[in-house]
Chains A and B, each alone.
Chain A
Amino acid sequence: MGIFSGKPWKQKLIPKRALFRASMIWETWVQTCYNYERMMGMACAHTFLPVVKYLYPNDKQKQIDLMTREMEFFNVHPEFGSCILGLAISLEEDKAMGENIPNEFITNIKTSLMGPLAGVGDTIWQGVLIPILLALCIDITRSGEGNIWGAVIYAVAMFLITYVFSYVNFMFGYRAGGDAIMDFLEKGIINKLLKGASIMGCMVMGGLIVNYVKVKCGIVIATSGTDFSLQESLFDAILPNILPLGATLGVYGLMQKKWTSIKIILLMVLVGVICGFFNILV
């Protein structure tokens, strides 16, 4: 992205060190006091802690006004939303340097960005990145006699991705501004990324069904002479693993019909008890 190379670093009021500290506070303490009333509101104010003294060095009242403003309701995806915090800091900085920016403008831009970024962020992060990484690492862990490396690789990789991405995104918001964030959301980059990740994800999920969903039919029809096992003679002959695939797509269909995961778990227990008891499934 040209945004990073385009503008050389120029300090306004806040030194880079303080910005770094602010972004680390955001990433680390963002959900330590997560609550229904303000969600991440207090974490926002907390993020301003290292920078507020640079904005109004001699005016305590203005510091208090700023911090009070930042305590308001805020909720976003922590890593994708960190650019909003960077943006808010840069707007407050411009304001402190004398530009005429109304308070409502800063609050509004924060509120208007948090919805789209939470949507994109939750989908990419929790719906694509984590499942793919987890699936691969679980497979590593369960391969052979079992080992610890999947767990270790997942934890280390996720830690690095989280902090690096959060910091880079924070600085992107700080330096590039609100228009650039909207631009990024509206241009095709995100979509292309999402499509590519979906293709890879679908491939991995297809493999996961085969390796980890276990549905085996136990029905054996006794005929004269040989027993006819439905699983071995029918399903395995047509397409092995067709039952796990069917079960997964069935659950997918129920979720599309807005079934909650709790309802599906209960259904699975019911199916398991009935089919397990009568040996329909083994």
Chain B
Amino acid sequence: MSIITAIILGIIYWLGEANLPFVGLWTLQRPLVCGFLTGIVLGDPVTGAVVGGTINLVYLGFISAGGSMPADMALAGVLGTAYAITGNLDADTALAIAVPIGLLGTIVWYLRMTIDSVFVHMGDKWVAEGKFNRLYLANVILPQIFSAIICVIPCMLAAKFGAAYIQTFIDFCAGKPLQIFQVIGGLMPALGIAITLQYIFKGEARIFLFLGFIIATVSGLTLIEQGIVGLIMAIIYIQVSDRGPAKVVAAGGASADVEDPDYDPDED
């Protein structure tokens, strides 16, 4: 991997991680998207999208709330995909390698969240002096220069040197260790699904998980088709429960759980 390629990968990571335009937070940060871009840079967009998408399964329902970041999925996406392409790994193995990288990457996030306070004080000063246009400097340019430094450099080094050794590493792991990687990689998506279930596997919706499971097991429906069936089910369910005799009760009790009482913004 040339140094220029490694720097471009670092920039992709920075754009995804530092919430830069345009909506890096919800799009580029996801391994499906940044893996795809990594694939383009390395000349294999399809593998990039497939491996990125596989890595993304672990991070399906990851919630960053109240400034916490349980895992750095952008770094996992970029580096995991880069290693998969340069080292010819299959998607499950790449996933098993990417997840620990994602845990390490949270350091970057917490460093940034801490240091960025400095720029707020600059902003305070400029606002007090009436130089409002300098908010671009305090809110965007300076913190982003800092983010670029702490994002591009580690990612570039990891991409450049990791890619050089990944082949040797995988050859070394041939046989049993590689098989273990695949077992772990096969298990990991359960985490992404379970985290999502924390938010949707509630009350009357619960039974539909098992319906979805059975439909997928016995039929050949694609996930899209199954999603459409799910959407229709949801509409029918709401129409029926709206019309039922329980309507009065439902209207009275509806406001009770607007806000999840267990919700804690600082929670991982």
Contacts and interface: CB of A to CB of B under 8 A. Distances in A.
Interface of A: 27-39, 41-43, 45-46, 49, 52, 60, 63-64, 67-68, 71, 75, 78, 115-116, 118-120, 122-123, 125-128, 130-132, 134-143, 145-148, 150-152, 154-155, 158-159, 162-163, 185-188, 190-192, 195-216, 239-241, 244-245, 247-252, 254-256, 260-262, 264-265, 268-269, 271-273, 275-277, 281-282
A31 B205 CA distance: 34
B49 interface: yes
Given A36-B117, A120-B258, A130-B30, 17 more contacts: A37-B120, A39-B67, A127-B200, A145-B46, A151-B32, A154-B30, A185-B259, A191-B254, A191-B258, A198-B199, A200-B231, A206-B209, A206-B215, A208-B189, A215-B187, A265-B103, A276-B180
A150 B63 CA distance: 21
Interface string B166-203: 00000000001001111111111111111111111111
A75 B62 CA distance: 19
B113 to A, nearest CB: 5
Interface in B215-239: 215-217, 221-224, 226-227, 229-231, 233-235, 237-238
A199 B230 contact: yes
A247 B191 CA distance: 9
A56 B87 CA distance: 61
A139 B223 contact: yes
B165 interface: no
Nearest to B214: A206
B138 interface: yes
The winner among A78, A152, A208, A264 for most chain B CB atoms within 10 A is: A208
B161 interface: no
Nearest to A156: B27
A205 B124 CA distance: 46
Contact of A198 (B103, B202, B250): B202
B71 A75 contact: no
B138 A33 contact: yes
Contact of B186 (A27, A30, A208, A213): A213
A16 B254 CA distance: 36
A146 B49 contact: yes
A265 B234 CA distance: 33
A88 B260 CA distance: 26
A137 B193 contact: no
B38 to A, nearest CB: 11
A203 B234 CA distance: 10
Q: Interface SS of chain A: helix, strand, loop or mixed? A: helix
Nearest to A189: B254
A24 B198 CA distance: 32
Q: What is the size category of the interface that chain B forms with chain A?
A: 35 or more
Contact of B258 (A46, A190, A207, A241): A190
Contact of A262 (B49, B70, B136): B70
B78 interface: no
Interface in B38-89: 39, 45-47, 49-50, 52-54, 56-57, 60-67, 70-71
B61 A131 contact: yes
Contacts of B64: 126
Contact of A123 (B176, B214, B238, B260): B260
A250 B103 CA distance: 22
Given A214-B92, A262-B70, A136 B63 contact: no
A38 to B, nearest CB: 5
Contacts of B193: 205, 208-209, 213, 248, 251
Contacts of B201: 198, 202, 205, 252
Contacts of A43: 139
A-B pairs with lowest CB-CB distance, top 9: A206-B212, A127-B199, A203-B230, A214-B186, A35-B116, A272-B184, A276-B180, A139-B223, A151-B36
A119 B114 contact: no
B6 interface: no
B127 A45 contact: yes
Contacts of A145: 46
